[in-house]
Structure 1
Amino acid sequence: MSTVDVEYVSLSACYAQVIWMRTELLDYGYKYNRISMYYDSKSVIAISCNPVQHSKTKHIDIRYHFIKEHVENGTVELYFVGIEYQLADLFTKSLPKERFEYLVHRIGKRCMTPTQLESLTKSSS
């Protein structure tokens, strides 16, 4: 399989998990009609948004093509996100200090030194 094929299967598997989480949230009264997903491969997004089956993707198991139906129905929207905004890199890669601090800030957290944490602990007690 090519890299695009593997990433397409991965996107479909991810969306299957999102659907499961969506049904669980429905039990608690949260309703999501449209789900936005961000991906870093324009080729995978193009395959997912094209309802026509091409010869280059016919070898992919049919169970992974359900995402095309959901894109067509509008229950999922796929957006491209560049590598510089990949927040998952924070958890999956070793990063330089500046990049780590940038991503920590992007997810809404703060990165503190042990000295800062100690002074916060003293001031709260």
Structure 2
Amino acid sequence: WQSKLQTTIATSTTEAEYQAAAAAIKEGLWIRNFIQQLLATKKIEMTINIDNQSTLRLLKNPQSVSKAKHIDVQHHFIRERAIRAEVKLKYCQTENMWADYLTKQLPTNKFNQCIKKLGMTMSCTRLSGSVERNPTEPGLQPWTTEEKPTRDPPKANSQEVETESPTSAEDSSPSKKTV
């Protein structure tokens, strides 16, 4: 959905990933329940891919509570959901975490590969400081020379009008304003 800062401070990468997984599961459970109600479906599986093995061990092993005792309680519901098998937790290598790449600056070829893997398409094929229509898109016609935007500001019809604006008793001469 979006990239945003975490609301609590993490003291390690493992804790940051733990918090991110908890946020993803909260959002995912809501979406899953919505779709289940909408489609009157019994069960939709939900898998969370995690690229940090320490986080995965912490989530799958409830015995390691002492290692996670400093983690805010609001994030621990994720463990309960995994134990109840409401959510599957799966290791995924960082190179295959395509959504991660949307939070980083990438070279063009890597960005295009990421967009393709996510099943997205680019509606703009060229961006170089100007606005253009893509005439290859269905329903769009190329610009004619009369329609092309110019860099010159529009010229307004201006007239000079004399007005009197006495600002002080000494200066009561008429002034000119452009309207």
TM-score (norm 1): 0.80
Higher RCO (Cα < 8 Å, 6 or more apart): 1
- Structure 2: 5+ residue runs without aligned partners? 1-10, 127-131, 142-179
Q: d(CA) in 1 for partners of 2:25 and 2:17? A: 12
Aligned residue number for residue 91 of structure 1: 102
C-alpha deviation, 1:76, in angstroms: 0.8
TM-align CA RMSD: 2.6
C-alpha deviation, 1:122, in angstroms: 6.6
C-alpha deviation, 1:74, in angstroms: 1.4
Structure number, greater radius of gyration? 2
Runs of 4+, deviation exceeding 4 Å = none
Structure 1 pair 108–23 and aligned structure 2 pair: CA distance change class (3 A): closer
Give the fraction of aligned pairs with identical amino acids, expressed as a percent: 28
- Structure 1: 5+ residue runs without aligned partners? none
Of Structure 1 and Structure 2, which has the larger fraction of its residues in helix? Answer: 1
Report the number of matched residues: 124
Q: Secondary structure at the match of 2:57?
A: helix
TM-score (norm 2): 0.59
Equivalent pair of 1:33/1:75 in contact (CA under 8 Å): no
Alignment of 1:1-125 (within 5 A): 1-28=11-38, 29-111=40-122, 113-114=125-126, 117-121=134-138
Q: Secondary structure at the match of 2:43?
A: coil
Q: d(CA) in 2 for partners of 1:10 and 1:122? A: 42
Q: d(CA) in 1 for partners of 2:44 and 2:137? A: 42
